[in-house]
Each structure stands twice: as structure tokens, then as C-alpha cells.
């Protein structure tokens, strides 16, 4: 009887080892090794900080990327994305891919839980007031339409990287986020985000959330700025404490959303 119990107990222990072994292996990642692989193979397109370049998108703060699981990211690295310019990196093998994913999580600020900084209540007042963030951005259905919804933006970025995103202009602005300045036939200046154009017409999304089509031949001026609508003076316009307050407000906003709801919200994007 004792021998039977011993055998059964041993079987359960072996089964437990088999089930948990892959999880242990995945946990034993080397971010330093991942950083080297990223610098050699990924930074040329995605940028050294992962925030995007001329040939590839932002994978450090983009909500579509930060919401993906480690398994999803591993599959993308392993198989690539057909038709996007993202090749397969299956030669990294499983360990190398796991290291790259671990380093990507460092760039995304997801390696540790960050405490809420600043005063969220004061940050909300700044967001919808003096800082004028709500002119372009929306949080929980309130605010502007022209820029990205920041309701859960803080769920995929560390406070340090968040601060950089506020005070530093991005090196490369995606085409769909670039500001276009025009002067209409009546002399009215308008700024907005370029949405589409051909040889004859241009469509601009303005701060009121409307898509406006203009015939190029009627415009007095058309300027492609190569810049975003994001103000570039926040470093001097806002104090460090005010920036912390805004970060605190958006961190609190993100923490109020269940992870499942985040995934459901991001799918249409």
C-alpha cells in the first residue's frame, strides 16, 4: 500500500514538473541578451527606443502592441507579418525570441508595477484645462477626437517614458498623425491631421472631429509640416509637478479598466 502511494505521488510530481517546465523556461529570460539582439536586428527599423522609425511602427508605447501577450509577440517575431515588411526571425530560436520579448517589455515599462505619481485630481484639471490635452485627446469619452484616446495609454508605459512622451517631440511622426496647415480660398487658416489625398483633393481631420475635403486648386497655401499637433513647449510651459499630476491622472484612468475590456477596446484599431 505504501509503495502504491509512493508511485502515485511520484507520478503527480513528475506531471507537475512536465506542466510547469515550459513556464519556468519562459520565465528565465535575459533582458541584456535581448537588448543586444534588438539593437542588432530591430532598432534599425523600430528605433533604438522602440518608438518607431521611418520603416517600422512604434512598438514601445503603441496600444495595439502593448496589449499583446508574450505569446502573441513571440509568434510575430517568429513568423513575421506578411505584407508589412516585418520578416521572420525564427533563427533567433525560442530562447532568443523570449529574450527579445523580455527586453521589449522593458521598453514598454511593463517589468514592474509603478505607483501612481502626482495628484490625479490636479492632473485631471490640467488635462481638461491649462495643458489643453483634451483639445485633441479623449479620456473615458470626454475630450477631443483628432488624436489618440488616452483612456488606457498609461497601462503600457512607465512613468519615465510617459514623461518623455510629454516633453520630447517624436523623431518620426506617422503619416496619419502629421499636421497639415492650409489657407482656404477665403483666407481662412486651418490646421488638422492629413487623412487622405490625391492629385486633386485633400482630406483633413480637424480638432472638432470633422473630416473636411478641399480642392487643392482652390487653396491659397498648403504646408506639410512633418510634425504632430502635440505641443512642443510642455517642458517649459508645465512644471515637473504638473507633469507628474497629468501622469498620475492617466495612470489612475488606466487602472480603472479591466484587462479584458482593454483588449476588447483595442480590437477596432
> Within 13 Å of residue 191, how many CA atoms lie on the same side as its CB?
10
Q: Does 198 fall in a domain?
A: yes
54 domain residue, yes or no: yes
- The rounded distance, in Å, linking the Cα atoms of 202 and 213 is 6
d(CA 8, CA 70): 35
Do 93 and 14 have their domain in common?
Answer: yes
- What integer pLDDT is reported at residue 249 of this predicted model? 92
Q: Say yes or no: 91 and 19 in one domain.
A: yes
Q: Are 78 and 214 in contact (CB under 8 A)?
A: no
* Domain-located, residue 115: no
What is the pLDDT at residue 265?
Answer: 43
> Could you tell me if 138 and 62 lie in one domain?
no
Residues 33 and 67 in one domain: yes
Q: Are 126 and 243 in contact (CB under 8 A)?
A: no
Both 90 and 18 in a single domain? yes
Q: Are 28 and 136 in the same domain?
A: no
DSSP 186: T
State which of 55, 86, 107 marks the end of a domain. 107
Q: Are residues 164 and 202 in the same domain?
A: no
pLDDT value at residue 50: 84
The answer to whether residues 79 and 205 belong to one domain is no
State residue 175's pLDDT score. Answer: 65
DSSP string, 19-75: HHHHHHHHH---HHHHHHHHHHHTHHHH-TTSS--SSS---SS-HHHHTS-HHHHHH
Residues facing 193 on adjacent strands: 179, 205
User: Does the residue 83 lie in any domain?
Assistant: yes
* pLDDT means over runs of 10, the chain (269 residues): 47 41 50 88 85 81 78 91 88 90 79 69 95 91 86 74 82 74 92 88 86 92 87 92 93 65 41
Q: How many domains would you assign to the chain?
A: 3
Q: Say yes or no: 191 and 61 in one domain.
A: no
Residue 208's pLDDT is 81
Same domain assignment for residues 159 and 90: no
- Domain with 142, as residue range(s), is 120-171+231-266
CATH number where 90 lies: 1.10.760.10
pLDDT in tens, 202-226: 998 888 878 889 999 999 999 988 8
Query: What pLDDT was estimated at residue 176?
Result: 67
Q: How far apart are CA 49 and CA 38, in angstroms?
A: 10
Q: Are residues 9 and 132 in the same domain?
A: no
> What is the model's pLDDT at position 151?
85
Dist CA 247 CA 154 (whole Å)? 8
Tell me if 113 is assigned to some domain: no
Asked if 185 and 166 sit in the same domain, the reply is no
Amino acid at each position: 500500500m505504501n509503495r502504491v502511494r509512493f508511485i502515485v505521488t511520484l507520478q503527480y510530481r513528475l506531471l507537475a514538473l512536465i506542466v510547469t517546465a515550459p513556464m519556468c523556461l519562459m520565465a528565465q529570460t535575459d533582458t541584456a541578451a535581448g537588448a543586444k539582439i534588438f539593437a542588432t536586428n530591430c532598432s534599425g527599423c523600430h528605433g533604438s527606443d522602440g518608438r518607431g522609425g521611418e520603416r517600422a511602427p512604434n512598438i514601445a508605447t503603441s496600444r495595439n502592441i502593448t496589449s499583446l501577450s508574450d505569446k502573441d509577440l513571440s509568434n510575430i517575431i517568429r513568423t513575421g507579418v506578411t505584407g508589412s515588411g516585418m520578416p521572420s526571425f525564427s533563427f533567433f530560436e525560442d530562447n532568443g525570441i523570449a529574450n527579445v520579448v523580455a527586453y521589449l517589455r522593458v521598453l514598454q515599462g511593463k517589468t514592474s508595477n509603478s505607483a501612481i505619481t502626482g495628484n490625479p485630481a490636479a492632473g485631471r484639471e490640467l488635462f481638461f484645462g491649462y495643458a489643453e490635452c483634451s483639445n485633441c485627446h479623449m479620456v473615458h469619452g470626454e475630450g477631443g477626437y483628432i488624436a489618440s484616446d488616452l483612456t488606457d495609454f498609461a497601462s503600457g508605459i512607465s512613468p519615465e517614458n510617459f514623461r518623455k512622451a510629454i516633453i520630447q517631440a517624436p523623431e518620426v511622426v506617422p503619416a496619419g498623425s502629421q499636421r497639415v496647415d492650409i489657407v482656404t480660398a477665403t483666407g481662412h487658416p486651418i490646421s488638422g491631421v492629413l487623412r487622405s489625398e490625391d492629385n486633386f483633393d485633400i482630406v483633413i481631420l480637424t480638432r472638432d472631429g470633422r473630416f473636411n475635403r478641399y480642392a487643392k486648386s482652390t487653396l491659397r497655401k498648403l504646408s506639410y509640416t512633418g510634425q504632430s499637433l502635440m505641443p512642443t513647449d510642455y517642458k517649459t510651459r508645465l512644471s515637473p509637478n504638473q507633469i507628474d499630476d497629468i501622469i498620475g491622472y492617466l495612470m489612475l484612468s488606466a487602472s480603472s479598466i479591466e484587462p479584458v475590456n482593454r483588449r476588447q477596446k483595442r480590437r477596432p484599431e
